Structure 1
């Protein structure tokens, strides 16, 4: 009969975990059976001789998060993803984290402002039910466009947030962009529109992404009929790199004198800044430039971003710091 000895427990664990030997080979070395080896390895774990730790391979996430938080004065949540991850995998991982954070922050008697778009649609799919009382979800920007109404798409997205939190939902049934700025000014005087605008101003949390003008996966506002060719030319001439809530931003974060913004229905950066917590969820190489513009515009308090995009963001910022240090020492 085989007598289990502490020396055998250690030998079996060493051969299995350190030498990567199969149980059958270890059994031959010890002159026992495979089942006994399995029991010895289990004993090693139970006795604390073996500790098993899982960690993402060479993740840079914690350091990246600290660097971004320090550079921009925001709370940053960097989601570890392998370099081989596809765009969809990166988006899903970031959206899952964004959904969990929102659920932890949003509670009864609060107002959540939600912008529509590809990223927010992904976030909505990962929301877990969290019943609240006296809470509201309000759409931040209009959705109607030239090709399709766009309203059903945004309505379903906003409603999914309301359903998850058991909150009253307030839709914003206006175009994403008016044809004329004076039409927008007239609509903003309507009581039905003012009620939604008032609810937006009451928001405790706003959640949005950044739209990118360029890239392999174009943002919804640039791919779904919201802009005509003349609009796109204007954006190009103005040096626009993307948008937040359909308000267009240049690389330096400026937006006030971009002509299309006079017709846009989303909150301006100044209006967004009145909301205490502003959560930006971002994934994708083409989002680096618009994300940097959004950070420079001061619209983000909490950033949820994948590791690869975070690296790209810091790479885009670092040359500026080097340039400034060089000038300072000149």
Structure 2
């Protein structure tokens, strides 16, 4: 009213009386369009289309992808904390997104809880143990939980080596814990993300692996298990060497919290939803709009 009064060079009380008259006669209606209501509509749309519980995080248009990641991770960290419970085994798939979640986890006291690493982190350039260990340690300290690392390569050089190691009792113990997880916390790796996914930036894939990613039509990975835009993962040779759980095993975990941000991960997200990897989803608002706008796009390059 002050702005209108200044513009029209009348008193504020005159503007108030005129607005009241205009509303009473139906000439003017004042409606507030709540951004929260718009996000609720999108959350319902995700539930209807994909059968997931979605949490859409607001993000200013000028926010960078790193800022959107941090906002999304903070919301996800609260959800992880609310889901943590006594005697629960939490499966953690390392990555840049889950690292951000780990930094924001509030402390919560539960009893006899376990945190298990879902995929190996060792690569030809670094041991990867420090990176994964710090991430797991944050989860363990947040919930006073026992931590179970998985000190194997993220990707084996030879599938036969993987099969031999999977017969070792120490490895089978961790694999059994993974299969018993009640909650899986994971991000989505993407070959085209603006904020580089750790699997692509951390020395895990050589030039031959990257060529295989492109040739197979890969749009993303869950715990270093790769998939296409239509959700399929058959015939992707890298998966034979991956230390991550097969996608069929992922789908048997009761509570699967997927956290993803950045519009460059649109196809990565849509592929994961087509594969049925998540039961609960945390994503930023621009990515949510992009995904819903392009969900019906024809799938190209699938095998």
Task: Tell me, yes or no, whether TM beats 0.5.
Answer: yes
Matched residue of 2:230: which SS?
Answer: coil
Aligned residue for 1:171? 149
Q: TM-score, normalised by structure 2?
A: 0.86
How many pairs does the alignment contain? 276
Q: Is the 8 A contact 2:65 2:194 kept in 1?
A: no
User: Where does structure 1 lack aligned partners over 5 or more consecutive residues?
Assistant: 1-17, 22-28, 31-53, 321-330
Across the aligned residues of Structure 1 and Structure 2, the Cα RMSD in angstroms comes to 2.1
Cα distance in 2 between the residues matched to 1:110 and 1:58: 32
C-alpha distance in 1, partners of 2:3/2:173? 66
Say which of 73, 92, 109 aligns to 1:95: 73
Q: Does 1:104 align with 2:82?
A: yes
Structure 1 residue 215: deviation in Å? 3.2
Q: What 5-or-longer segments of structure 2 have no aligned partner?
A: 5-11, 14-31, 299-303
Asked which structure has the greater CA Rg, the reply is 1
Match status 1:60 vs 2:60: no
Q: Provide, for residues 235-270 of structure 1, a one-character-per-residue CA deviation record: whole Å limited to 9, x for no partner.
A: 111111111100011111111210010000011110
Alignment partner of 1:190 is 2:168: yes
Q: CA deviation at 1:216?
A: 2.5
Q: Match of 1:315?
A: 293
Aligned match for 2:220, one of 212, 221, 242: 242
Aligned equivalents of 2:35 and 2:210: distance in 1?
Answer: 42
Q: Please say if residues 137 and 158 of structure 1, whose CA atoms lie closer than 8 Å, have aligned partners that are also in contact.
A: yes
Partner of 2:23: none
Match for residue 8 of structure 2?
Answer: none
SS of the equivalent of 2:112 reads coil
Out of 92, 97, 106, the residue aligned to residue 114 of structure 1 is: 92
Compute the displacement of 1:217 (Å): 2.0
Partners of 1:290 and 1:129 in 2: CA distance: 31
**Does 2:11 correspond to 1:19?**
no
The Cα of 1:166 is off from its aligned counterpart by 0.4
Q: Kindly tell me: are residues 319 and 229 of structure 1, through their superposed partners in 2, closer, same or farther at Cα, counting changes over 3 Å?
A: closer
The verdict on how the C-alpha distance between 1:159 and 1:299 changes in structure 2, with shifts beyond 3 A counting, is same
Aligned to 1:129: 107
C-alpha distance in structure 1 between counterparts of 2:78 and 2:3, whole Å: 38
Offset, 1:180: 0.3
Residues 97-116 of structure 1, C-alpha deviation per residue, up to 9 Å, x if partnerless? 10111111111111100010
Which residue does the alignment assign to 1:259?
237
Task: Tell me which residue corresponds to 1:11.
Answer: none
Match among 265, 269, 290 for residue 287 of structure 1: 265
Shift of 1:20: 5.9
Answer whether contact 2:78 2:105 (CA < 8 A) is retained.
yes
